């Protein structure tokens, strides 16, 4: 496929309007041919539908869909899209459970369509240079600090507090998507503590101790209650110095100094994601890495749960 890929965006919440629609508009790889959302309006000049079944029945020619819905409802929509022969872009996290993502991967393979589990933070400017620098280094320890104000970044998004909504692991899985990309050894959960508001089903904060297969400890601190300056930082201490990825992977430094240059082809998270999606569609392959989601599942298996004060918007 060399012509623009005809894509529909399903779910027109904040992430779709802030990131997906501008990234699609800025590339020649895709043409936006439809939007789908049960709430609100679509995009001027583009056909809009209330559900994906209505889109399919309309006769609109679609090659691919980008699913920006909450994770709890994404599997059935993706399954329907795969059955139409459409390629599927899954916003992160790719599903509410690991099993359903694996089922979608297998269904896409059987149907001969591409499935993309998109980990947008891996496309931040500092991630690939960090991965290159850490390759072959001895890791002494790593610290992940992801603390943000949920009222700023997820206003009115009640789904995030429901089962399958991930709570603080909605941003926390971004950190894990970076860590699983840049660290040279696999790592696993040793202990975890989850703080769950008494009126919610998902955690508002978490502290997790990992260890990699070479023995290095990795500590993660997540909190949705951060006010003032926000923190999205990964610090890795090695035998050759300390690497710091700040601002969600966007700023890289080594021992506080100048970092290796970023690959300009990866500039911008969502433009990078859509370049990758176009590439796998045209190559006829899928890209479904479940390692960040698997770690979140393992955290829940190992965690102690603590009831904390109720959370109100």
Residues with catalytic function: 92
> Rounded to whole angstroms, how far apart are CA atoms 231 and 196?
21
The count of C-alpha atoms lying within 13 angstroms of the C-alpha of 163, restricted to the half-sphere facing its C-beta, is: 1
Torsion of CA 129, 132, 137, 139, to 10 degrees: 50
Contacts of 280 (CB under 8 A, 6+ apart): 114, 116, 286, 287
Q: Which burial class, exposed, middle or buried, applies to 174 when counting CB atoms under 10 A from its CB (0-12, 13-18, 19+)?
A: buried
By residue count, the chain amounts to 313
3-state helix, strand, coil in the chain (%, to 5): 35, 30, 35
Q: Which burial class, exposed, middle or buried, applies to 41 when counting CB atoms under 10 A from its CB (0-12, 13-18, 19+)?
A: exposed
């Amino acid at each position: 496929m060399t012509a623009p890929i005809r894509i529909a965006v399903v779910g027109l919440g904040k992430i779709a309007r802030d990131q997906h629609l501008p990234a699609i508009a800025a590339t020649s790889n895709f043409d936006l041919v439809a939007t789908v959302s049960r709430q609100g309006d679509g995009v001027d000049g583009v056909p809009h539908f209330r559900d994906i079944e209505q889109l399919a029945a309309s006769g609109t020619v679609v090659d691919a869909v980008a699913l920006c819905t909450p994770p709890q409802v994404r599997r059935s929509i993706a399954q329907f899209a795969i059955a139409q022969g459409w390629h599927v872009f899954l916003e992160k996290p790719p599903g509410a459970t690991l099993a359903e993502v694996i089922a979608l991967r297998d269904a896409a393979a059987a149907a001969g369509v591409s499935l993309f589990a998109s980990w947008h933070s891996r496309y931040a400017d500092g991630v690939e240079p960090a991965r290159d620098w850490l390759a072959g280094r001895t890791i002494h320890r790593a610290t992940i600090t992801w603390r943000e104000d949920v009222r700023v970044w997820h206003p009115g998004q009640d789904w995030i507090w429901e089962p399958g909504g991930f709570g603080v692991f909605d941003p926390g899985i971004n950190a894990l998507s970076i860590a699983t990309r840049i660290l040279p050894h696999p790592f696993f959960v040793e202990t975890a503590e989850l703080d769950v508001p008494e009126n919610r089903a998902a955690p508002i904060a978490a502290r997790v101790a990992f260890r990699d297969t070479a023995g290095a400890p990795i500590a993660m601190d997540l909190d949705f209650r951060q006010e003032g300056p926000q923190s999205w930082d990964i610090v890795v201490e090695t035998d050759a110095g300390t690497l710091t990825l700040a601002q969600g992977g966007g700023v890289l430094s080594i021992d506080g100094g100048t970092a290796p240059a970023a690959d300009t082809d990866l500039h911008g998270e969502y433009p990078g994601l859509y370049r990758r999606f176009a590439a796998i569609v045209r190559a006829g392959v899928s890209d479904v890495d479940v390692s960040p989601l698997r770690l979140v599942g393992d955290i829940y298996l190992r965690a102690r749960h603590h009831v904390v004060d109720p959370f109100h918007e």
